[in-house]
Structure 1
Amino acid sequence: MGNFKGVADTLFIPLEARIYVSKKYPEYFYDEKALSLEKYIADDIIQKKSSEYSFMASVARYHNMDDMVRTYIAQNGTCNVIYLGAGLETAYFRLNNKQAFFYEIDLPEVIHSRRIVLGDNENESLIGGNAFDVVWAAHIDKALPTLLLASGVFQYFKQEKIIKLIHNVRDTFDNAEFIFDATNQIGIKYANAYVRKTGNTDAQMYFYINDSTEFARQTGTVLLEERPFFTQARIMLAKRLKLYTRIAMKVADDKKRTIIVHLKL
């Protein structure tokens, strides 16, 4: 896949989703930088095997997280915004905010490919390393208000590893919040089936949350918000979406199959 040769296949699922929705529903979500990366994708296997709902589910994470990041920066001024497992995330370009310091953290080979295609940018630092090993914090001003985000990342790891990371981040930063997406136990089964359908049989998902309040208690944090994925999409796009998509969105929201969790560490 062009300059992305060797990069994990799972990175392309959210990228293809951002491209698809940017073309079809730009009033809900538009990612100019993602559209510019379309030329690096050599085939359309993901798009052929994906439903409108699965693309909307992927993009709804970014739509909501972008909104939450904008609010955080507006409230805190100069701050850190850290994307763990950044992959080919293009939020830096969508947000276009020079007040915050952005950090993109991922495995060295992913950061290498990212740098080739997206370059080095003002107020953005690319750090190659294991997102779960908090040694990357040595590159960051830990006294600044800090917002950490993990989008489509935690599902691939066991709960013990997620809890340990949150504890380590809490102990490392003076003033930090954490935003990440999660599914419940039923939702993770559907997610695994979808990834297998796209041709990736190795990306098994494990992590889920059935009770956000209980998870906050387990991690010694404060639950600031539990946000369903599709509230705004269902209002903004309404009957423009396919019937199945609308039904699946309502079920996901009502049964909390897909949520965004916002913790104060």
Structure 2
Amino acid sequence: MTEKTLKPGTVEETVLIPLYARAVETRRDDPALRDPRAREMVEAIAYDYEKFDGQPSLHGAVMRTLLFDLWTRDFLAEHPTGTVIEIGTGLNTRYERVDNGRARWYELDLPDVIALRRDFLPDTPRRTMIAASVTDPTWPDRVDGPGPYLVCAEAVLAFLPEEEVREVVRSLARRFPGALLAMDSSGPGIVSTQERHDVLSKVGASMRWACADPAEVAGWYEGLELLDTHTMTSLPERLYQDLPAAYRQMVDALVPQRLPQVEEYRMSLYRFP
């Protein structure tokens, strides 16, 4: 059997960080989420995961996933036959966690990632994987699911230059009017010191886009609206209350510290005109 892996030193390698975070979380006695498929993939994909052990960003990746899951559940509750589009899907298993049995899903990533993803996760009549870069202007033509749309861009856009991020946002706005966009961003203090980041410093890929204020993104396209934005210390109350006690204690301890590496990281929800 061919060994499953991703080439070290590439942006594709970064998909293994949130994958490992979910696998580690699943092994806990009181996990914030359960993801048995993540454990299965970690065990099957050859990689030095131990270099991430004990790093705070693993907890951050779990909380980010929980927030994106929450936004997706909210969208599906309001639009049960709508379409979810995950760009930079990596080895995410959001479909397994929150699918309602009626929605249409599209999962986009680079060809090497999609090839690995297909070893574990199937296409179905309601679920389609697309092997392409998010910067490829033709990939939206393959999305024929019904609206309304939710586009999730989790842990992907920061690795692009700002002008490419701008064009991705504009392209999505033109192609999916009225859609919701869930995305995350890192501030200048995080991007400029990423060589000391607890997990990104252990991979070859580098963040290229620094966003000082998520409200700036709303100015990139007329009518684009910022609906919601959160840091790890200002999560929605309903999400915070559902966290295991250890997570709530960690968040509570971070609040008074106002650490730039925490407060400059934002998870935001937008609506296209």
TM over 0.5: yes
1:114-263 correspondence to structure 2 within 5 Å: 114-141=117-144, 144-194=147-197, 195-198=199-202, 200=203, 202-220=204-222, 221-230=224-233, 231=235, 232=239, 236-238=243-245, 240=246, 247-248=253-254, 251=258, 256-263=263-270
CA deviation map 1:168-227 (0-9, x unaligned): 1111123311111112222334544234542x2x31112222222222123331001112
User: Contact (CA 8 Å) 1:177, 1:262: kept in 2 or not?
Assistant: yes
Which AA in structure 1 matches 2:217? F
1:21 corresponding residue in structure 2? 25
Moved more, 247-256 or 26-35: 247-256
The SS at the match of 2:263 is coil
d(CA) in 1 for partners of 2:195 and 2:122? 32
Closer/same/farther in 2, CA of residues 49 and 190 from structure 1, 3 Å limit: farther
| Aligned residue type for 2:4 | N
Q: 1:51 to 1:185 in 2, by over 3 A?
A: farther
The CA deviation at 1:70 is 0.4
Q: Which runs of 5+ in 2 are unaligned?
A: none
Q: How far apart are the structure 1 equivalents of 2:137 and 2:147?
A: 16
Consecutive unaligned residues of structure 1, counting only runs of 5 or more, are: none
| Residue-pair matches, total | 261
Structure 2 CA distance for partners of 1:261 and 1:92, relative to 1, 3 Å = same
1:32 to 36, 59, 65: 36
Q: More displaced, 64-73 or 128-137?
A: 128-137
Q: Which amino acid aligns with 1:79?
A: G
Identity within the alignment, %: 23
The one-letter amino acid of 1:12's match is L
Cα deviation 1:47-101 (Å, max 9, x = unaligned)? 3344341101111111000000000111122111011111111111111322211
Alpha-carbon RMSD: 2.8
Matched, 1:2 2:3: yes
* 2:67 equivalent to 1:64: yes
Given residue 258 of structure 1, which amino acid in structure 2 is its aligned partner? Y
Query: Which one is further off, 211-220 or 106-115?
Result: 211-220
Distance 1:254 1:158, change over 3 A: closer
Deviation at 1:229, TM superposition (A): 2.8
Aligned amino acid, residue 142 of structure 2: H
Task: Name the one with the larger helix percent.
Answer: 1
* 1:119 to 1:209, Cα distance in 2 relative to 1, 3 A: same
Change in 2 beyond 3 A, CA 1:235/1:254: farther
Most deviating of 62-71 and 72-81: 72-81
TM-score by length of structure 2 reads: 0.84
Are the equivalent residues in 2 in contact too, given 1:3–1:117 (CA < 8 A)?
no
User: 1:11-53: CA deviations, max 9, x gaps?
Assistant: 211111111122226442211211221211334x333344341
SS of alignment partner, residue 149 of structure 1: strand
Query: How far 1:249 sits from its partner (Å)?
Result: 6.5
Q: Which amino acid aligns with 2:122?
A: G
Length-normalised TM-score, structure 1? 0.86
Match of 1:108 in 2: 111
